[in-house]
Amino acid sequence: MAAQLPIPVYTSLDQAMPDLQTAAEQAVRYNNLVEEFEKRFGHKPSYIARAPGRVNLIGEHIDYVLFGCFPAAVERDILIACGPSLATASTGTGGVQAHNLNPKYQPQNFVPMLKTGGITAAEEAGAASTVHAKAAWQLDIDKRELRWESYVKAGYYGVLNRFFSAASGTQEHPVPVDLLFTGSVPSGSGLSSSAAMVVASTLAFLTVNNKLEGVSKGQLVEMAMENEKRVGVNSGGLDQAASVICTPHSAIFVNFYPKLSAEPIPLPTPRTIPRAIFVCANSLVVSDKAVTAKFHYNLRVVETLVAARVLGRLLNLPLTPTERPTLRVILTRWLGTPEADLEKEDVKSAIERFLPEIEKLRPAREGREPGEEGVTMKEMIELSGLSEEQFNQVYLSWVEVEAEYFQLYKRTRHVFTEALRVLEFREVCVRAQATEGDLPEETLKQLGALLDASHESCSTLCESSCPEVDELTRLAKAAGAYGSRITGAGWGGCTVSLVAEDRVEEFIAKIKEGYAPYRELSDEKLRDAIFATKPSSGAFVLKLDA
Ligand code: GLA
């Protein structure tokens, strides 16, 4: 239901913010952006498009195999002041002038070109999704280099292909656009600055081109997911769903199969014991998933996809040579029940029953050293039952990955146990919501234990953590957190810890003392590195006075 709602368009900040105090605090930032836009482009902006970062509370590296996750939007966000450009001579049809308040990011001008007869943008991006047209828009995203405007172009692609392609049957041209960006989501920190950039950019282009009406939150998520693939990362929909669909005061349980759906779930708020809140702590190890995709993020995507086929074969499930089913689809085939007939409780018990089956993937350990438990490329191809050519076509033609050993068993074990933990986490929250009277502290301890178990699995089975992040979670536990785990893609970035509200200050002080990279930080930098966060609202558009 939440995914079918329209994108909110507000006319004042009071409507957009959860309370008046936040609106007053944010007004300074919004006004400054509007003034600076006018200085740079010589006219007022028409709108501000806003998309938040997110913290994933639990459910890591399972969205791309189509299992549900549990994120919340954070208050940190990307804002884009935008409006039709007056400088048509320099911007041309649909041309863009994109500026950023952060001087680190140089102003960029670009004009989309319509390319006929070649491959489409979706094919180029390696997206397995629908290809829209034979004439495709071209914006030249350089995937080998991380450039800030690539995310802006990625957002633009989807709008161009959907509303201005020959296939959409329109003669209309996109309008030239001026954009001014500002952001408070630290990049490479695991709080999803990239999805916030792509969602906000998609929203800005939709709005200025007058195409927002009729686009639901779910459709914006799907567009943003496809758009982000153009930057070279085959991510799932977790970040985009959180950035678009979240509402203040709640996390969302977001499900991707058989179709995108989201359910807002308030976090338990005990009355007699202090409320627990989430604290994000940045390890300061910068990990940009677009840069390391071939041996980190995209490799996990390929490992889990191949694992699904191999497991399907071992379980004698029907498989065609050209399809690329996910682990979620394999579970459904094994069950033999149409997904639409399954309740969350059924999925949970199905996973529990399925877990012993995944042991079939465990590779023979004889003669292997620790760290070599996986399978080589040659072994993996054999296990898939495909010819080398078929294998390359299905699993490698759209993505570049690099590894000596592919860890099919470990990744699969992570996926199913993590999917189970998400459903348990949801269940504890839902039960707490329905409880009359005071909640026992035990509830928070249960949530904390699930966070800890999730981290352990990310660290040892998914292998998406790093020593600094592991250290931060240990320090968090020692400082009194109910639970602590890595959040986001990993290999650096942030942890998220569940902490009693009245102990947050003491908690932060202890982490500062214990985590060496924090000791030298100024108070301002420290506030940026470790902070408590409330679930915030999802993306919206603020319509400005003409
Ligand atoms: C990144 C991706 C998400 C998700 C997480 C890991 O943030 O963009 O889709 O896969 O990593 O859970």
Count up the domains in the chain and report the number.
1
Which helix (DSSP H) or strand (DSSP E) does residue 494 occupy?
A: strand 494-500
Tell me the residue type at 412: T
pLDDT at 337: 81
Q: Using CA atoms, how far apart are residues 506 and 499, in angstroms rounded to an integer?
A: 10
Give the range of the structural domain holding residue 9, as residue numbers without chain letter: 2-119+133-265+536-543
Of the pLDDT bands very low, low, confident and very high (cuts 50, 70, 90), residue 110 is: very high
| Nearest CA among 193, 162, 187, 160 for reference residue 175 | 160
Answer yes or no: is pLDDT of 343 > 60.
yes
453-512, pLDDT tens digit by residue?
999 999 999 999 999 999 999 999 999 999 999 999 999 999 999 999 889 999 999 999
pLDDT at 445: 94
Answer yes or no: is pLDDT of 142 > 80.
no
The angle at the Cα of 98, spanning 93 to 103, to the nearest 5 degrees, equals 160
> In this structure, is residue 389 part of a structural domain?
no
> In this structure, is residue 352 part of a structural domain?
no
In Å, what is the CA distance from 150 to each residue of 140, 141, 230, 353, 354? 9, 6, 9, 44, 41
In Å, what is the CA distance from 209 to each residue of 92, 162, 206? 15, 12, 5
Ligand 1: nearest atom to the Cα of 69: 12
Q: Using CA atoms, how far apart are residues 545 and 104, in angstroms rounded to an integer?
A: 30
Is 192 near ligand 1, meaning CB less than 6 Å away?
yes
> In this structure, is residue 233 part of a structural domain?
yes
Q: How many residues does the chain have?
A: 546
In Å, what is the CA distance from 113 to each residue of 72, 84, 85, 146, 178? 37, 19, 18, 22, 18
Q: Where are the beta strands (DSSP E) in 59-100?
A: 70-84, 96-100
- Give the mutation target among 239, 287, 455 for probing the ligand 1 site: most ligand atoms within 8 A of CB: 239
From first CA to last CA, the distance across the chain in angstroms is 33
- Cβ–Cβ under 8 Å, residues 328 and 257: yes
Across the chain, mean pLDDT equals 90
Answer yes or no: is pLDDT of 540 > 50.
yes
> In this structure, is residue 450 part of a structural domain?
no
More confident residue, 135 or 420: 420
Residue 326: exposure state from Cβ atoms within 10 A (0-12, 13-18, ≥19)? buried
- Give the mutation target among 63, 226, 243, 485 for probing the ligand 1 site: most ligand atoms within 8 A of CB: 63
- Cβ–Cβ under 8 Å, residues 451 and 278: no
Is 236 near ligand 1, meaning CB less than 6 Å away?
yes
CA of 148 to the centre of ligand 1 (A): 19
Ligand 1: nearest atom to the Cα of 56: 12
CA of 463 to the centre of ligand 1 (A): 14
Answer yes or no: is pLDDT of 133 > 50.
no
Ligand 1: nearest atom to the Cα of 61: 12
CA of 486 to the centre of ligand 1 (A): 12
Q: Is 432 left (phi over 0), alpha (psi -120 to 50) or beta?
A: alpha
> In this structure, is residue 171 part of a structural domain?
yes
Tell the residue number behind the tokens 């200050």, with chain if given.
505
In Å, what is the CA distance from 139 to each residue of 5, 93, 110, 206, 221? 30, 13, 8, 17, 21
Of the pLDDT bands very low, low, confident and very high (cuts 50, 70, 90), residue 113 is: confident
What pTM value is reported for the model?
0.91
Least confidently predicted of 120-124, 333-337, 352-356, 441-445 = 120-124
- Cβ–Cβ under 8 Å, residues 240 and 199: yes
> What is the Cα Rg of the chain in Å?
23
Give me the mean pLDDT over the 315-335 stretch.
Answer: 96
Tell the residue number behind the tokens 């002080």, with chain if given.
509
The angle that helices 344-354 and 327-335 make with each other, rounded to 10 degrees, is 90
pLDDT at 291: 77
> In this structure, is residue 275 part of a structural domain?
no
Of the pLDDT bands very low, low, confident and very high (cuts 50, 70, 90), residue 292 is: confident
Ligand 1: nearest atom to the Cα of 60: 12
H-type alpha helices, 4-75: 13-16, 20-41
CA of 63 to the centre of ligand 1 (A): 7
> In this structure, is residue 270 part of a structural domain?
no
CATH code for the domain of 162: 3.30.230.10
Give me the mean pLDDT over the 334-345 stretch.
Answer: 80
CA of 56 to the centre of ligand 1 (A): 9
Is 418 near ligand 1, meaning CB less than 6 Å away?
no
Which residue's alpha carbon is at the smallest distance from atom 1 of ligand 1? 489
Is 488 near ligand 1, meaning CB less than 6 Å away?
yes
Phi first, then psi: give them for residue 407, nearest 5 degrees.
Answer: -95, 75
| Percent of all residues in the chain with a pLDDT value above 90, rounded to a whole number | 69
Ligand 1: nearest atom to the Cα of 194: 8
Is 489 near ligand 1, meaning CB less than 6 Å away?
yes
> In this structure, is residue 23 part of a structural domain?
yes
The angle that helices 327-335 and 297-314 make with each other, rounded to 10 degrees, is 20
Least confidently predicted of 120-134, 148-162, 182-196, 222-236 = 120-134
Of the pLDDT bands very low, low, confident and very high (cuts 50, 70, 90), residue 309 is: very high
Is 61 near ligand 1, meaning CB less than 6 Å away?
yes
CA of 313 to the centre of ligand 1 (A): 27
Which residue's alpha carbon is at the smallest distance from atom 10 of ligand 1? 61
Answer yes or no: is pLDDT of 127 > 50.
no
Q: Using CA atoms, how far apart are residues 28 and 2, in angstroms rounded to an integer?
A: 30
Answer yes or no: is pLDDT of 420 > 60.
yes
Give me the mean pLDDT over the 367-388 stretch.
Answer: 87
Is 63 near ligand 1, meaning CB less than 6 Å away?
yes
Which residue's alpha carbon is at the smallest distance from atom 11 of ligand 1? 489
Tell me the residue type at 67: F
pLDDT at 217: 96
Ligand 1: nearest atom to the Cα of 192: 7
Ligand 1: nearest atom to the Cα of 464: 6
Token pair for residue 397? Answer: 């033609």
CA of 478 to the centre of ligand 1 (A): 28
Is 288 near ligand 1, meaning CB less than 6 Å away?
no
pLDDT at 18: 81
Ligand 1: nearest atom to the Cα of 64: 10
H-type alpha helices, 147-296: 148-163, 193-208, 217-229, 238-245
Token pair for residue 350? Answer: 């199905």
Which residue's alpha carbon is at the smallest distance from atom 2 of ligand 1? 235
Of the pLDDT bands very low, low, confident and very high (cuts 50, 70, 90), residue 134 is: low
CA of 440 to the centre of ligand 1 (A): 33
Maximum C-alpha span of the chain:
73
Ligand 1: nearest atom to the Cα of 489: 11
Which helix (DSSP H) or strand (DSSP E) does residue 183 occupy?
A: strand 177-183
